[in-house]
C-alpha cells in the first residue's frame, strides 16, 4: 500500500510531540530540543547510533515506534531528522498518523564533504509530504518540494540557543484542534 492510497488516520486525541534530533559526525547540539523535552514532556526518538546514522535503521526505528503510537503524532525534526522525516514519509502508510511536522534547518547531505561522511542519505527525498509541515531554514527549494510552509531562519531565531519561543509558537499550529 502506498502512502497516497493509505486510509487516513482519524483520532480526536491530543497528539504526542516527538523530537527527531540531528545526528552524524557533524551533529549540532540542539539545546532548545532538550529544553522542550524537559519543560513540555515531549518524547525524543532514540536511535541506535547517533554518530554513524544509517537512514534505513533510523527509518525502521521511526516506523516501528509510530505504528505503536496510540494516537496522532507531531514531529519536530532538526538536521538529519528532517531528512529522515521526508524519506520515511515517502515510504510509509503509517505517515497518516502524523498531524504535522516542524522541520528545522535540514542537513544538506548532498554537499560533497557531507555525502562521504553520511553514506546512504543522499539523494534527499524530495516528494511532497503527506501531512502539513513548516520548514524553518534557508531551503526554499526543499520546502517547495516537500510542500512545506517556508519560514526563514532569520525570522525566528529569538533565543534559538535557548527555549526558542518562536519555534514553539510555530509548533502550536499542529497542536490546535
- Percent of the chain at pLDDT above 90? 65
Q: What is the mean pLDDT of residues 60-82?
A: 96
Per-residue pLDDT at 12: 57
Predicted confidence at residue 66, as pLDDT, reads 95
Comparing 61-65, 80-84, 108-112, 144-148, which segment has the lowest mean pLDDT?
108-112
Show Cβ contacts of residue 128 under 8 Å, excluding neighbours closer than 6 positions: 145, 146, 147
Q: Is 103 helix (H, G, I), strand (E, B) or coil?
A: strand
C-alpha cell at 13: 486525541
Give the tens place of pLDDT for each residue, 113-138: 888 889 899 999 999 999 999 999 98
Amino acid at each position: 500500500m502506498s502512502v497516497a492510497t493509505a486510509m487516513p488516520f482519524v483520532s480526536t486525541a491530543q497528539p504526542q510531540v516527538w523530537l527527531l534530533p540531528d545526528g552524524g559526525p557533524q551533529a549540532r547540539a540542539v539545546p532548545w530540543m532538550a529544553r522542550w523535552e524537559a519543560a513540555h514532556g515531549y518524547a525524543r526518538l532514540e536511535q541506535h547510533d547517533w554518530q554513524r546514522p544509517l537512514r534505513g535503521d533510523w527509518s525502521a526505528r521511526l516506523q516501528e515506534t509510530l505504528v505503536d503510537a496510540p494516537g496522532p503524532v507531531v514531529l519536530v525534526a532538526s538536521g538529519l531528522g528532517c531528512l529522515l522525516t521526508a524519506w520515511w514519509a515517502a515510504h510509509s502508510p503509517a505517515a497518516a498518523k502524523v498531524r504535522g511536522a516542524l522541520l528545522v534547518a535540514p542537513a544538506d547531505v548532498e554537499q560533497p564533504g557531507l555525502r562521504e561522511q553520511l553514506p546512504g542519505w543522499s539523494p534527499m527525498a524530495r516528494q511532497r509530504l503527506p501531512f502539513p509541515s513548516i520548514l524553518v531554514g534557508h531551503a526554499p527549494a526543499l520546502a517547495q518540494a516537500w510542500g512545506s510552509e517556508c519560514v526563514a531562519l532569520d525570522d525566528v531565531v529569538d533565543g534559538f540557543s535557548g527555549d526558542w519561543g518562536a519555534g514553539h509558537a510555530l509548533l502550536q499550529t499542529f497542536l490546535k484542534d
